[in-house]
């Protein structure tokens, strides 16, 4: 895909004074529910009402969406409130029905983006459309797969494109439902600075208490918008209850969030500094996480050495590691002195961990 300046035009054309806010329930449940949420959102910064009609569930037996009937409720909400409407499409039939019901924004879900066959089917069904199409990242942390999906739409002459970052699944349980891996959207943004980038904090968090912080990080990284799951009675939502917030909470959140997209030299300097600092914070977080993982492995080695009655310090192995790291350091413009200092400290911490395991 060429790095085309026109990609973000649809967003600029909206002329918003703030980042784009898409909000609404995970799933459309009833006509009353959709209309009530839409009217509450009308009083907030939200420009677009989202609701899932067909719900892709990882495991069967959960609520799978109300189906095409829900499109009528969305359409009615649009007529009554003036909000634009958005829903997920996962095959050509969904596209056909969404277009018939004048859905403004169609998004491709994370479980769909992983499949080039289905993405192509949807791209073919949308050929030449003026509708806005937002492509969620695939469930697995693969930037090429994400970009590949965007390229399929672009090749199908879909010009009003954007992407949604909703985190990546991991086997390991972390504090997130889906790990943010900020480096991936940052790389994407560097490659395609004009492709609108929207954060879905709800599916990253899986719980409502960390949504604010995720949104702030995204805004500091110059994301262009937010898509937040919103329900008047979050705890009793038919899907993703733990991660939904009320329209009133959303409203307060958009007031409290620091939006750094302003003009002027001093402000621009601050914005740039902030973006760079947030990038550093992301990397520091990764460093600490990696070090923690490394020490857990050191603990395992300690246990193995204890069982086999082997000494903690293995000088030959240690010298090999150092030699390798000095070379790798050089390739990354890191001085030998720095590598030695860092790895001595890491090694000492590893030995402390192993000692603790062996003496336990
Ligand atoms: C959703 O937005 O409700 C959804 C199912 O998201 P994802 O595809 O990111 O899991
Ligand atoms: Mn959901």
pLDDT, residue 58, reads: 78
Give yes or no: residues 280 and 231 share one domain. Answer: no
Final residue belonging to a domain, choices 235, 256, 277: 256
Q: Is 4 a member of any domain?
A: no
What is the per-residue pLDDT across 90-115, written as a single tens digit (0 to 9) for each?
999 999 999 999 999 999 999 999 99
Alpha-carbon distance of 213 to 89, in angstroms, equals: 29
pLDDT, residue 314, reads: 78
Q: Is 3 a member of any domain?
A: no
Q: Is 315 a member of any domain?
A: yes
Q: Is 2 a member of any domain?
A: no
Q: Is 170 a member of any domain?
A: yes
pLDDT for 45 beyond 90: yes
Percent of the chain surpassing pLDDT 70: 97
Give yes or no: residues 244 and 310 share one domain. Answer: no
Give yes or no: residues 213 and 285 share one domain. Answer: no
Give the residue with greater pLDDT, 191 vs 126.
126
Backbone angles phi, psi at 85, to 5 degrees: -125, 145
Give yes or no: residues 52 and 176 share one domain. Answer: yes
Final residue belonging to a domain, choices 256, 288, 307: 256
Give yes or no: residues 68 and 151 share one domain. Answer: yes
- Residue 301: name the closest of 234, 250, 347 by CA: 347
| DSSP annotation of 229 | E
Closest C-alpha to ligand 1, atom 3: 26
Q: Which atom of ligand 1 is nearest to the CA of 26?
A: 3
- Using a 6 Å cutoff on CB, does residue 26 contact ligand 1? yes
CATH code, 277 = 1.20.59.10
| DSSP annotation of 163 | E
Q: Kindly indicate the confidence band of residue 305, based on its pLDDT and cuts at 50, 70 and 90.
A: confident
Alpha-carbon distance of 185 to 213, in angstroms, equals: 17
Q: Kindly indicate the confidence band of residue 173, based on its pLDDT and cuts at 50, 70 and 90.
A: confident
Give the residue with greater pLDDT, 226 vs 3.
226
Give the chain's mean pLDDT: 93
Neighbours of 76 (CB within 10 A): 15
- Over range 176-192, report the average pLDDT: 92
Ligand 2 centroid, distance to 117 Cα (angstroms): 23
Percent of the chain surpassing pLDDT 90: 76
CA angle 267, 272, 278 (to 5 degrees): 125
Neighbours of 24 (CB within 10 A): 30
Q: Are 124 and 156 in contact (CB under 8 A)?
A: yes
Long-range CB contact pairs, 258-264, < 8 A, 24+:
258/216, 258/219, 258/220, 259/18, 259/19, 259/219, 260/219, 260/220, 260/222, 261/19, 261/219, 261/222
H helix runs in the chain, sequence order: 9-14, 31-42, 69-81, 92-100, 110-113, 116-125, 143-155, 183-191, 201-205, 211-220, 247-256, 265-308, 315-331, 336-359
Give yes or no: residues 250 and 335 share one domain. Answer: no
Give yes or no: residues 276 and 252 share one domain. Answer: no
| DSSP annotation of 177 | S
- Torsional class of 25: left (φ above 0), alpha (ψ -120 to 50), beta (otherwise): beta
What is the per-residue pLDDT across 203-230, written as a single tens digit (0 to 9) for each?
999 999 999 999 999 998 989 999 999 9
Closest C-alpha to ligand 1, atom 6: 109
pLDDT, residue 252, reads: 97
The CA–CA distances, whole Å, from 173 to 168, 178, 206, 210, 286 equal: 12, 9, 12, 16, 16
Give yes or no: residues 209 and 272 share one domain. Answer: no
Give yes or no: residues 63 and 149 share one domain. Answer: yes
CATH code, 192 = 3.20.20.70
- Residue 274: name the closest of 253, 259, 255, 289 by CA: 259
pLDDT, residue 262, reads: 55
Closest C-alpha to ligand 1, atom 1: 26
Q: Are 206 and 175 in contact (CB under 8 A)?
A: no
> What is the helix (H) or strand (E) element at residue 228, kind and residue range?
strand 225-229
pLDDT, residue 261, reads: 58
Q: Which atom of ligand 1 is nearest to the CA of 110?
A: 8
Closest C-alpha to ligand 1, atom 4: 109
pLDDT for 56 beyond 90: no
Q: Is 115 a member of any domain?
A: yes
Give yes or no: residues 229 and 338 share one domain. Answer: no
Backbone angles phi, psi at 251, to 5 degrees: -60, -50
Closest C-alpha to ligand 1, atom 10: 110
Ligand 1 centroid, distance to 261 Cα (angstroms): 27
- Using a 6 Å cutoff on CB, does residue 166 contact ligand 1? yes
Ligand 2 centroid, distance to 7 Cα (angstroms): 27
Which ligand is nearest to the Cα of residue 110, counting in written order?
1
Q: Which domain holds residue 307?
A: 267-359
What is the per-residue pLDDT across 242-278, written as a single tens digit (0 to 9) for each?
999 999 999 999 999 987 655 667 777 877 888 898 8
How many domains does one find in the chain? Answer: 2
- Using a 6 Å cutoff on CB, does residue 8 contact ligand 1? no
Token duo for residue 81: 């409130």
pLDDT, residue 212, reads: 98
- Over range 333-360, report the average pLDDT: 91
Give yes or no: residues 238 and 273 share one domain. Answer: no
> Which residue's entry shows tokens 């009833």?
30
Give the residue with greater pLDDT, 48 vs 58.
48
Which of 25, 52, 180 is the pocket-test mutation for ligand 1 (most atoms within 8 Å of CB)?
A: 52
- Using a 6 Å cutoff on CB, does residue 231 contact ligand 1? no
pLDDT for 336 beyond 90: yes
pTM beyond cutoff 0.85? no
Query: What spatial distance separates the first Cα and last Cα of the chain, rounded to whole Å?
Result: 57
Token duo for residue 254: 């958009």
Which of 26, 49, 242 is the pocket-test mutation for ligand 1 (most atoms within 8 Å of CB)?
A: 26
Q: Kindly indicate the confidence band of residue 296, based on its pLDDT and cuts at 50, 70 and 90.
A: very high
Alpha-carbon distance of 104 to 228, in angstroms, equals: 17
b/e per residue, 338-356, with b = 16+ CB within 10 A? ebeeebeebeeebeebbee
What is the per-residue pLDDT across 113-166, written as a single tens digit (0 to 9) for each?
999 999 999 999 999 999 999 999 999 999 999 999 999 999 999 999 999 999
Give yes or no: residues 29 and 144 share one domain. Answer: yes
Closest C-alpha to ligand 1, atom 2: 26
- Residue 112: name the closest of 101, 121, 102, 99 by CA: 121
Final residue belonging to a domain, choices 256, 290, 320: 256
Neighbours of 359 (CB within 10 A): 8
- Over range 1-19, report the average pLDDT: 80
Q: Kindly indicate the confidence band of residue 184, based on its pLDDT and cuts at 50, 70 and 90.
A: very high
Ligand 2 centroid, distance to 229 Cα (angstroms): 7
pLDDT, residue 271, reads: 77
Q: Is 228 a member of any domain?
A: yes
pLDDT, residue 264, reads: 66
- Using a 6 Å cutoff on CB, does residue 52 contact ligand 1? yes
Q: Is 262 a member of any domain?
A: no
pLDDT, residue 268, reads: 77
Give 148's contacts (C-beta < 8 A, 6+ positions apart).
Answer: 116, 119
- Residues belonging to the chain: 360
């Amino acid at each position: 895909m060429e790095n085309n300046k026109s990609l973000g035009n649809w967003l600029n054309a909206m002329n918003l004074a703030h980042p784009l806010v898409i909000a609404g329930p995970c799933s459309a449940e009833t006509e009353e529910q959709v209309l009530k949420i839409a009217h509450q959102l009308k009083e907030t910064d939200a420009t677009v009402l989202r609701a899932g009609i067909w719900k892709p569930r990882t495991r069967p037996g959960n609520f799978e969406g109300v189906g095409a009937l829900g499109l009528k409720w969305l359409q009615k909400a649009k007529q009554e409130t003036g909000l634009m409407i958005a829903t997920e499409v996962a095959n050509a039939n969904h596209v056909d029905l969404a277009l018939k019901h004048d859905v403004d924004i169609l998004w491709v879900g994370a479980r769909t983006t992983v499949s080039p066959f289905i993405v192509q089917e949807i791209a073919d069904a949308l050929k030449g459309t003026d509708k806005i199409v937002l492509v969620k990242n695939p469930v697995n942390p693969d930037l090429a797969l994400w970009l590949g999906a965007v390229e399929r739409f672009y090749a199908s002459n879909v010009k009003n494109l954007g992407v949604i970052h909703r985190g990546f699944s991991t086997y390991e349980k972390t504090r997130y439902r889906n790990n943010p891996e900020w480096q991936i959207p940052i790389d994407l943004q560097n490659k395609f600075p004009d492709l609108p980038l929207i954060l879905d904090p709800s599916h990253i968090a899986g719980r409502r208490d960390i949504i604010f912080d995720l949104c702030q990080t995204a805004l500091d990284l110059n994301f262009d918008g937010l898509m937040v799951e919103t329900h008047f009675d979050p705890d009793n939502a038919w899907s993703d209850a733990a991660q939904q917030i009320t329209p009133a909470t959303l409203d307060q959140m958009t007031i409290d969030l620091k939006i750094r997209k302003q003009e002027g030299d001093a402000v621009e300097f601050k914005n740039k500094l902030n973006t760079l600092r947030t990038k550093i914070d992301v990397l520091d977080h990764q460093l600490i996480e990696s070090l923690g993982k490394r020490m857990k492995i050191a603990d395992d080695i300690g246990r193995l050495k204890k069982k086999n009655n082997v000494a903690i310090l293995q000088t030959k192995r240690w010298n090999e590691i150092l030699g390798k790291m000095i070379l790798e350091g050089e390739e990354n413009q890191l001085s030998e002195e720095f590598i030695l200092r860092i790895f001595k400290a890491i090694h000492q911490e590893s030995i402390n961990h192993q000692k603790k395991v062996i003496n336990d």
